[in-house]
Each structure stands twice: as structure tokens, then as C-alpha cells.
Amino acid sequence: MKLTFNWLKEKSGVDWSVEEMEDRLTRSGTAGVAHKINPDHFKEVVVGQVTKLDKHPNADKLLVTEVNTGDATHTIICGAPNCAVGQKVVVALPGANLKGEFKVKEIKMRGVESAGMICAEDELGLSDDHSGIMVLDDEAPLGRPVFDYLALDDAVIDFEITPNRPDCLSAVGVAREIAVLAQKDFIVKIDEPKEVDKKASDYIKVVIDDPDGCPRYTARIIENITIGESPWWLRKRLLNCGIRPINNIVDITNYVMLETGHPLHAFDYDRFGSKEVIVRRARAGEKFITLDNQEHELDDSILLITNGEKGVAAAGVMGGLESEVENETTTILLEAAYFNPTVIRRSSQKLGISSESSYRFERGVDPNGVVAAADRTAALMAELAGGRVLAGVVDNYPKKISPVKIELRPEQVKRILGADIPVLFMEKTLRGLGLEVETGSALKTLAPTNRPDLVREIDLVEEIARIYGLDKIPTARQNGGPLFTPSHRRDTIKEDLRRILNGFGFEETLSSGMAHAGRLERVDSTLDPIKVTNQLSDEFAAMRTRILYSLLVSTGNNIRHRNIDINIFEIGRVYLKEKSGPVEPTYLGLLMTGQTEDVYWKSQAAPSDLFEVKGIVEAVADSLGLNSPVLKAIAIPGYDKHYSYEVLIDDQKVGSVGQVDKKVARLFDIKQNCLAAELHVEKLIELYQGLKEYKPLPKFPASSRDIAVIVDLSVPAAKIREAIIASGGELLESVKIFDLFIGEAVPEGKKSLAFGINFRSAEKTLEDEEVDKTHGQIVAHLEKSFNARLRE
Amino acid sequence: MDIAEQLQKIGQTAREEMSAADSADVLEKLRVHYLGKKGELTSILRGLKDLSREEKREVGGQANKLKTELDRIIEDRREELSSAISIDSSFDFTLPGRPRHYGHRHLVTIVMDQINGIFQRMGFEIADGPDIESDYYNFEALNFPPDHPARDEQDTFYVEGGSLLRTHTSGVQIREFEKRKPPVKIIAPGKVFRNEAVNARSYCVFHQVEGFYVDENVTFGDLKGVLEAFCYEFFQESVQLRFRPSFFPFTEPSAEVDVRCFLCNGKGCSLCKHEGWLEILGCGMIDPEVFKAVGYDSDKVTGYAFGIGVERPALLKHRVNDIRLLFENDIRFIKQFR
């Protein structure tokens, strides 16, 4: 919400600079940012009068004008359709620098000299209006600098009002804040209109069918008005505050709303359709056209103002087209009401309309301030539109809303804030804010109805705190609380995993956790994702069921930027549907594609393959102190079914490893081979078996033997390794596979596998004969079990 | 001259000559001269047999020590002489070392770890809550009544089954209060979701660290102390803070905390949008309504709560001007931060 500096200064009576006003208000909870108009942009911009108007000899759409600026006459070419002789206009003379970006010079336009420019509002930076040149009041003095004449030294302050402070959605409300901060008395002058003898109650009756939705409705009648343009001061205030001027009547209701915070509505009395306002809920299916010419189908969540027959306004939200004020309007039915905030909020949501009016009603206006607002509006209509105000306010107030009693114990202020604030300051502050205060050991207060946020003692503590100044509350230098707070494996394991994977050269990615429903389905159609019902876009329509999805999105983003060698990991939740409700297990996902390592002049990098990922998974398990993982071939969605494995540790499923299905990868614009793994982090935590007992270091040396065997291609290396261990007896300490060979030296359909075996005894140094004997047993066993042949 | 003196003299001369030797040949001659079969020192060692047992032990010890020393000097000198000649001319140490790539944490993780670490040192315990949350924990128990405009400030994603994606980490307050009795001193880092258009300034997902402390006699002054300490540590300099009253349904009084823009020092620049201040967190004293919802007695305990957005300070610290970069996961971006 925007208000102007001069307006606030005038209402508050406090003589602060713009900067001080901005700062003090911001520090007390009414955050505002001030914008000033730069006077340099109005240098050589003066009031002029059009004295002569001719068609441009060489251009149909241009006019050649003569403009008098008091001491001189200038020939200026103008293209505005509304330009007329006698008008007072804004003239930018050569040397002007409009908005700091457009320098006005003497120029020749199609053969005619032009010594300046007649300006539209947008060219001056006053508004976005470029429909025609700006026309000033007739009294505007010739030659007067426009900056002075229009009082443009007024800054606009743009406020961010929190939803608990509807009272501050007005000049009066903000001015009261200023006065309290400056410790000055604040008085609101009530401006009662001069009334004529005719009674308003003879013209209109108000019936409220739904007192909960509409606790109060008042009406005034103003006759004999003339619709026209509002004076500049009024238009300027509206423009400064971001509201487009329409005509004097609409402008006045908007102005009073900005001033008092009360939304008002002016109906054309003659087009209202009856002499009775009936406020009721809309009927299901009832149709209504709002003044923006949109037809709405209503239901009973909407509060409707009717003429007894049909709707004339969606209460508190927007008026109807049919009873809108028009140029011919002469009599005004003025509505000033208090509607229930929740009802207006629902109406506004249902209609899909958020207006200045609904914004205020749903936050809460002052039910006991409506008559003053109606009076102020009527008085302005008399003054600015020639209206005659009929006697009396027709006031229907079935649900009276009274000020709230609140007790404030001064010690409570100290207890919450930790500051010693004098009781006198508290009293003064609360009175300044409009509360009635009765002194005593506890302050007995009565909170005004324009402050619906003040209900409890804590609400008053907050008022004291913000007016006193949060910056003045002394800062504690000690830190209370428990002596010790524990850390949790749930958190520390993530730190460990990051360190481990960073150590292996992996970069950490972080994703939204949301997914494109269609692509997610293609990654894994076996898991039904939790869908977002009000999604922002297709990309964020479902919750990811697999961490693989996010890794593929990140990989695709990188490949599009030609980063083709990627080792990434992400630790995050996936979201799964369970009967009991959503569950959110945490997964570690990792993905490798392209070359495994950076370029090195001594050796050639190899493309990543499944053994790289397997090695990482094994190392991760080992780093966490877990037993070695076992990989079991099984088709898992998202992976190529021939290269897809379940990861088992201690016979428990902890995740998967595989080569990403090429068709799936292509959905993410990835054409290169991707290897991935997904590990369930909570499972990894569960599998940890605690600290291990120390094993004494061997006292005697080991002996080693290598065995190379030729076996069928189909025999798994792990099976042979297991057989070696099984037949190696007590002396066998470890077995490592150090070579695989397939090729010429080996018969077709066969492979050669080489194993390095370590033997050791805990009691003595082994003799060669003992080792040879065991070695022989192993060879015999392999020959028998796998039809293996020793390779010499 | 007794044998001990002779030894000393031989030692002195031999050391000098050997250090001065400028070729392997000279060195070899010196070795033969002193340590060879007929060498000076060897002769002395041979002569030992004529001495008394007492003298044998004493002089023999010295002679052997000298022999060991001279052997080492010859060895060292020989090494020096040979390496001086045989420099490997193909050795080029400007070639890069074997790349040992240490990966990077994501920038959000880096900043989150910093924030968590600071608060853990101040005695806060880490807790967490679900991303898919109920209306009760995200709004209702936090004193957001249904149909209250305060809900508009947090555009919410809803999911099937009536749950929502949490719009803040504040729901963890309720979950932890339900499980514990005061004192409770916790931080809850996590992901939060807002149904907002994605652009350079905002993303529909971001991270928060919620913190809260409930105990007897916790005041707004304590809150200020903790947050000032945090900012001092986090920004690694003495930043100026501004506590600006604000509104959150679950705290009262509520405040937003701004730091003096560290780029322009408050003069106004594009980083702070010419306001001189950067908003970094929201905080306040926990509202009695929240205590009521969890069965705490607000006459006995008070508490504070705060919520720090992680992305914003991360972007500010590194002058990153587009939040989307954080979620695109371009490794060239990720690799820039430690």
C-alpha cells in the first residue's frame, strides 16, 4: 500500500524528514520504502497555455501549437488528440531532461521548428497514462515550474502492512503510529457534512438477512451531484498511491478508503432498482455481473447486496455493472458497512477477485468507524461534486461489536522481553494507540474496535515492545538451556557420506524433490507417486519416488551444457505412498557417466563402467563399518534389465546398482551410458553392528601363491573364489582376483582368471611343503568342480 | 703422542680432506689412505693388541667410532659427487601432479552445515519433521486459523489425500513439543515448499533452519543474544543488525532481522535494492496459543523461535544473482564453492 509523505505529515502533525519517517515506521513494524521524484527531472518544465493550434502542413497526425509560458511564446509540435486552444498544459522547454533519460531539444519535424514538448503524464514519470497530454487546472499560473505547482516534493512511501494490522491500511492508521512514536497526541477530526432537510430514510431502507455475514450496514443519500474529473490534488494523491482516477465520485470513495481504511461503495441511486437494500447470501446458481463486466455464477458462500430482486454488489468485494456510477448519475446511494472477514475472504476466493476493498474487509475494518467514513465521503461529494447530502445515516447494526477488555501486568512485559520498561511509558503508548487505560497494579485497558489484533495480554506486550523499540531491548550475553544436547546418526551419517563421496571425487547435487509425473512414471512405473493437486507446472507435479529421477535431471542439465564427464551424488528424501500415509525414506543416489577421472598425462582415463559404481558402493559400505555388499542380478525399473542389481548387506536389501536404461536416459536428453546406485540411508544406519573387537596382528610371515585357471566363460569369478576359500583350509588368509584374460592364448568359450592367494599360520613360519600341499588341494578342487585347467 | 691424541689428529685431517675431495678418485685414494688394509686408522686398530685391557676398551671404542664416522662421510660425499654429474634432463616438474579430485558439497549444504554447526555449539539439538505435512502441524497448531489472510503469505502446495508440502520448518516445533517437556532447545533444518513462480529471485523449493528454545525465563533479550552471536559467527565480522517488528501467527512479539548490507555498508546498492539492509531471518517469542496447543503452561515457561532461510544468505555471501542456479546442479557451479 502506498501513501504520500505530505499526507502522513499533515495527518500526524509530526515534522519528520522522509528518511526519519521511513526508518522509525520500519523499526516499529510498519515497514515502508520511500520513493522521491528527482527535481532535476523537472528542470525547464513549466506551466503553459495553448494559444493557437494549426494542422502541421506536412503531417496529418501532428499539430503546430503556440504555447505561452508567461514571458515568452513557443512554437511546439504536438501529436496528442486531446490538445485544444486555451488549455493549461505542462511544457518541457529545450534543456529539460525528462525522467533523467530524455533530453528535450529544439528540433525540426517535417520542416517545422519545434521548441519544446507538451507532456503526457507518463513522459513526466507521474503515471503510465499516455492517452493524451496532461491538462492542468485553469488557474495554473503561467510559467510556474511544474515541480512546485504540482507539489512534487512529496515522496511516496510504499508500505508492507502485515495481515494483523488492517488499521494501518490507511493514512489515519499510519499517522497514528507516527504520532505515538513521536509521543504526540493524535486527534482524528470528524468531518460532518452539511445536510439538507430531506431525509435519507425516505429514500432507502436497509434489511440484513445475514447478521453474521453483515453485522452492520449504513447508507447515505447524496443528490444533485455532477460527475466530472476530480481536482488535481485528489487525482495526484490517488496516482501517487497507485490508484487510477476514474471520476470524482469513484475517486472520493477511493480517497476516503485510503484515508480512513474503510472501503465504501457508491451506487447510482436511480439505477439501483428499488428503495431497499437487502443483504443476504447468494443462492446457488444465481448469476451476477461485476463492474469489470465478468459474469459469475454464485453460491451461498457469497454475501450479496441486493435490491430485493437481484444482486447489485458482491458484498465487500466488487460492485455490479448495472448500478455502477455513470456520467449521467445524479444521485448516489453510498454504502459504508462492516462485513465479516471470513465471509469476505471466502467470497473473494470463490469469485477469484481480490480488490482493495476485499483486502481490507478480510483483514478487518472498524465496525464502529463506518459512520465517520460515510460522513467524510458525503462531505467530499458535496464539496467536489456539488452534491446535496440528505439528512441522516440509515444505520442497521444488528450485531454490535464492542471494545475488548484486556489486562496487562507490567511484570509480564519484563518476563517476555527481558527489559525494564517504565509503566508510565506503557500507559502512554497504549493510550496513544487508542486504548482506554485504567491504572493500577495491572493496567485495565479497553482495546478499540479498529484493532482486531488486540485481544490478549501478549498482544499488548507486543505493542509496548514495538513502540519502545526492539533495538533498545538489552541483548543477553549468556546462553541458557540444557548442559548437553545429543547428536543423531540420522544427521551425522549424511555428513560422513558427503565426505566419503567427495573423497572419491563426486560432486553433491541438490534437487527440489518434485518431479514431472510423466517422466517419473517412465523411470519407475511400479511406484505410484504422491501427486501435487495444485501444481505450478508439469515439472513439479509429483513427488519423486526415486532419487535416480533427480540424478537424471541434473545429469541432463549438465550434458546440455557440454559437461559430459560427471560423477554426482545426492542425499535426499523420496516420497512413497503407504497405507498408513506418506513415508519419506532418505536415499543416497550416485551417478557416473563419461570418463572416470580427470585427464592425466601419464595414463589414459577409462570410461565409467559398472565396476566403478560397484567399487564405490563397496567402499561406502566399508567406510561406514558395514560388511561387504553382495550384488544380486534382478530387474529393477529404470535400469537396463541385463545390468541391474539389488544391493544386499547381511542379506538385507539396502538399494540397487545398475546401468540406466537407455530409453529412460533419453527422456532427460542423455545419450551416453550412465551408471547409478541408490542406497537407503536409514537401512545403512540399522545395519551398523557397533564397534568391533581388536584382532591381534600376525606374528609370522605370510606365503603367497598365484593360481591362473582356464574355465568356461559362464563360470562366475566369485564362485571360483568361494571354492578357493572353501578348499584352502585354515592356512588360507586371503584371495584376490588380479587378472581376467579372454583371447588368443585361451580356447574359445573359455577365460583365464588369475588369483593371488595368501597363506599364513598363527603359530609358526610356514614351510614351503605345507603351502604347496594346500595349493595342490585347491587346484584339485577347482579342476573337479569347474573342469578348470591350470594355465602355465 | 699417545694413541688418543693420534686418533684425534687423524680424525681432524681426514674430515677436512674428505670434505674437500672433488672427485670419486680422490675420495677412493683417501679411503685407502685412512681405512684401507694399510691405512692409518687400520694400523692403529691393529696396534691395539699391545695395550692393556683397560686401554683397549677405551681407545678401541674411540677408534671404532671414528671408523664409522669416516665411512659415513665417504658415503655421503660419494653420493653428492655422483648426483652432481647425473642430473636427469628429461625430468620436468612443471608437468601436473596426478589429479586427486576432492568433490564439493552443494552450496546449500555448505551454508546449512555452517548454520547447524554454530547453533550446535550453542547447545541446540537437531531434529526434523516430514516434508509432506498435515494442515494441523503446518498451520493450525501454529495459530494460523482456517481462512486467515496470514495463510496467503505462504502459497501452499497441496498433495493427494489432503496433506500439504510444508511451507516452513516451524511445524517441527509442534512435533517436538508434543514429544518433550521443557527445557527444549532445538534446531530443525529442512526443505520447504512454496507455490510461487520460478524466477531469478524465487524458487518453489528452498531450505530453512528453524530454531527454538523453551524454558523458564526465556526472554526476547535471550533471542537477540543468540541471533547476534549467530550473525557474528556466520558473517565472520561484526555486522550491524536491525530487529524490525513483524507478524507471524506463532510468535508474539515477532520480528524480522535485517543485517546492514555488507556490499555497500548501508549506502544503498543493487544487492540490497537500495534499502541498505538485507532481510535474513524471522523470529519472535512463541505465542501462548502454540503452547496451549501442545499442553505447555505459558505461565511457567516462555520461549523463542526463529527461522533462517538458507538460500538467501548463501546467494548474498557469494553474490549469486539467480537462485535457479542452485537447483540446476551444473557441476561448473557446484565446483566453485567449498
pLDDT tens by residue, A730-743 = 999 999 999 999 98
Residue B180 inside a domain? The answer is: yes
| Number of Cβ within a 10 Å radius of residue A280 | 19
* A107: enclosing H helix or E strand: strand A107-109
> Which amino acid would we find at residue A493?
I
Rounded-to-integer distance, Cα A691 and Cα A688, Å: 9
Helix-strand-coil split of chain B, %, nearest 5 = 45, 20, 35
* B113: enclosing H helix or E strand: helix B107-121
Q: How many CA atoms lie within 13 A of A759 on its CB side?
A: 23
More confidently predicted of A571 and A121? A571
pLDDT greater than 90 at residue A151:
no
Q: Is A419 on the interface with B (CB under 8 A)?
A: yes
Residue B183 inside a domain? The answer is: yes
- Domain-ending residue, one of B24, B48, B83: B83
**B50 and B142 inside one domain:** no
Rounded-to-integer distance, Cα B79 and Cα A524, Å: 68
Smallest Cβ–Cβ distance between B215 and the set A480, A486, A506 belongs to A480
User: What single DSSP character describes residue A154?
Assistant: P
Across the range A457-480, mean pLDDT stands at 94
pLDDT greater than 80 at residue B88:
no
User: What single DSSP character describes residue A150?
Assistant: T
pLDDT greater than 90 at residue A711:
yes
In degrees, rounded to 5, the angle at the alpha carbon of residue A338 between the alpha carbons of residues A332 and A339 is: 110
- Phi and psi at B320, nearest 5°, equal -85, 130
Percent of chain A at pLDDT > 70 equals 100
Q: 3-state SS of A376-405? A: HHHHHHHHHHCCEEEECCEEECCCCCCCEE
In degrees, rounded to 5, the angle at the alpha carbon of residue A260 between the alpha carbons of residues A374 and B250 is: 130
User: For chain A, how long is the longest CA-to-CA vector?
Assistant: 132
- Pick among A1, A164, A577 to test the B interface (most B CBs inside 10 A): A164
Percent of chain A at pLDDT > 90 equals 81
Q: Are A658 and A643 in contact (CB under 8 A)?
A: yes
Task: Return the axis-axis angle of helices A171-181 and A5-12, rounded to nearest 10°.
Answer: 60
Exposure of A463 by Cβ count < 10 A (0-12 exposed, 13-18 middle, 19+ buried)?
buried
Q: Are A342 and A319 in contact (CB under 8 A)?
A: no
Task: Enumerate residues 6+ apart whose C-beta is below 8 A from A753.
Answer: A708, A709, A711, A717, A720, A737, A739, A740, A741
Nearest CA in chain A to B240: A471
pLDDT tens by residue, A32-69 = 988 888 889 999 999 999 999 888 888 888 889 999 99
> Which amino acid would we find at residue A745?
A
**B150 and B213 inside one domain:** yes
Q: Tell me what pLDDT residue A361 has.
A: 96
How many residue pairs from chains A and B have C-beta atoms closer than 8 A? 245
Chain-chain contact of B123 with A482 (C-beta, under 8 angstroms): yes
**B142 and B286 inside one domain:** yes
Residue B324 inside a domain? The answer is: yes
Across the range A541-563, mean pLDDT stands at 97
CA distance to partner chain B, nearest, from residue A569 (Å): 10
More confidently predicted of B83 and A465? A465
| Contacts with A481 from chain B: Cβ below 8 Å | 123, 183, 185, 213, 215
**B195 and B316 inside one domain:** yes
Q: Tell me what pLDDT residue A516 has.
A: 96
Smallest Cβ–Cβ distance between A342 and the set B147, B197, B205 belongs to B147
Confidence of residue B296 (pLDDT cuts 50, 70, 90): very high
| Contacts with A569 from chain B: Cβ below 8 Å | 103
Calculated CA dihedral for residues A575, A578, A582, A586, nearest 10 degrees: -40
pLDDT tens by residue, A499-511 = 999 999 999 999 9
CA distance to partner chain B, nearest, from residue A163 (Å): 6
Rounded-to-integer distance, Cα A263 and Cα A365, Å: 8
**B229 and B311 inside one domain:** yes
CA distance to partner chain A, nearest, from residue B306 (Å): 15
**B167 and B316 inside one domain:** yes
Residue B98 inside a domain? The answer is: no
Across the range A549-554, mean pLDDT stands at 98
More confidently predicted of B164 and B76? B164
CA distance to partner chain B, nearest, from residue A167 (Å): 14
Stretch 594-623 of chain A: residues touching chain B, C-beta under 8 Å:
597-602
Across the range A685-698, mean pLDDT stands at 91
Q: Tell me what pLDDT residue A356 has.
A: 94
Q: Which of A228-242, A466-480, A625-639, B109-123 has the lowest mean pLDDT?
A: A228-242
pLDDT tens by residue, A540-550 = 999 999 999 99
Q: Tell me what pLDDT residue B1 has.
A: 62
Across the range A504-521, mean pLDDT stands at 96
pLDDT greater than 90 at residue A266:
yes
Residue B96 inside a domain? The answer is: no
Q: Which residue segment(s) compose the domain that B114 sits in?
A: 107-334
| Contacts with B205 from chain A: Cβ below 8 Å | 512-514
pLDDT greater than 80 at residue B47:
no
Chain-chain contact of A584 with B122 (C-beta, under 8 angstroms): no
- Beta strand spans in A581-720 (E): 581-583, 586-593, 630-633, 639-649, 652-660, 674-680, 703-712
Provide the whole-model pTM: 0.84
Confidence of residue B84 (pLDDT cuts 50, 70, 90): low
Q: Tell me what pLDDT residue B281 has.
A: 95
* Cell numbers standing for residue A659: 546401468
Stretch 13-52 of chain B: residues touching chain A, C-beta under 8 Å:
none
Chain-chain contact of A532 with B165 (C-beta, under 8 angstroms): yes
**B291 and B142 inside one domain:** yes
* Cell numbers standing for residue B248: 507471524
Question: Pairing between strand A542-543 and A216-223?
Answer: unpaired
Confidence of residue B18 (pLDDT cuts 50, 70, 90): confident
What letters, b where the CB count within 10 A reaches 16 and e where it falls short, cover B126-144? bbbbbbbbbbebbbebbbb
Q: Are A301 and A350 in contact (CB under 8 A)?
A: yes
Confidence of residue B114 (pLDDT cuts 50, 70, 90): very high
Across the range A166-195, mean pLDDT stands at 93
CA distance to partner chain A, nearest, from residue B82 (Å): 28
**B123 and B265 inside one domain:** yes
- Domain-ending residue, one of B49, B83, B117: B83
Q: Tell me what pLDDT residue B86 has.
A: 65
| Contacts with A584 from chain B: Cβ below 8 Å | 130-132
**ipTM summary value:** 0.85
Rounded-to-integer distance, Cα A461 and Cα A463, Å: 5
Among candidates A263, A274, A244, which has minimal Cα distance to A318?
Answer: A263
Residue B88 inside a domain? The answer is: no
* A726: enclosing H helix or E strand: helix A717-727
Q: Is A158 on the interface with B (CB under 8 A)?
A: no
Confidence of residue B85 (pLDDT cuts 50, 70, 90): low
User: What single DSSP character describes residue A470?
Assistant: G
In degrees, rounded to 5, the angle at the alpha carbon of residue A401 between the alpha carbons of residues A397 and A405 is: 160
**B70 and B112 inside one domain:** no
The number of distinct structural domains making up chain B is: 2
Residue B163 inside a domain? The answer is: yes
Rounded-to-integer distance, Cα A356 and Cα B22, Å: 100
pLDDT tens by residue, B222-254 = 999 999 999 999 987 778 899 999 999 999 999
Q: Measuring CA to CA, how many Å separate A327 from each of A294, A324, A331, A734, A773?
A: 21, 10, 11, 100, 116
CA distance to partner chain A, nearest, from residue B94 (Å): 12
Assign A62 to helix, strand or coil: coil
User: What single DSSP character describes residue B164?
Assistant: E
Rounded-to-integer distance, Cα B30 and Cα B20, Å: 11
- Domain-ending residue, one of B83, B115, B131: B83
Q: Is B134 on the interface with A (CB under 8 A)?
A: no
**B305 and B206 inside one domain:** yes
Task: Enumerate residues 6+ apart whose C-beta is below 8 A from B12.
Answer: none
Number of helical (H) and strand (E) elements in chain A, helices listed first:
22, 44
Q: Are A334 and A221 in contact (CB under 8 A)?
A: yes
**B128 and B213 inside one domain:** yes
> Which amino acid would we find at residue B90?
S
pLDDT tens by residue, A657-674 = 999 999 999 999 999 999
Q: Tell me what pLDDT residue B80 has.
A: 83
- Phi and psi at A259, nearest 5°, equal -75, -50
Assign B7 to helix, strand or coil: helix
Bridge partners, A652 (sequence order): A649
Assign A74 to helix, strand or coil: strand
Q: Are A433 and A394 in contact (CB under 8 A)?
A: no
**B13 and B141 inside one domain:** no
Q: Tell me what pLDDT residue A628 has.
A: 94
| Contacts with A482 from chain B: Cβ below 8 Å | 123, 183, 185
Residue B24 inside a domain? The answer is: yes
Chain-chain contact of B205 with A536 (C-beta, under 8 angstroms): no
| Contacts with A35 from chain B: Cβ below 8 Å | none
Task: Return the axis-axis angle of helices A489-503 and A610-623, rounded to nearest 10°.
Answer: 140
Tell me, what CATH number does B232's domain have? 3.30.930.10
Nearest CA in chain A to B157: A534
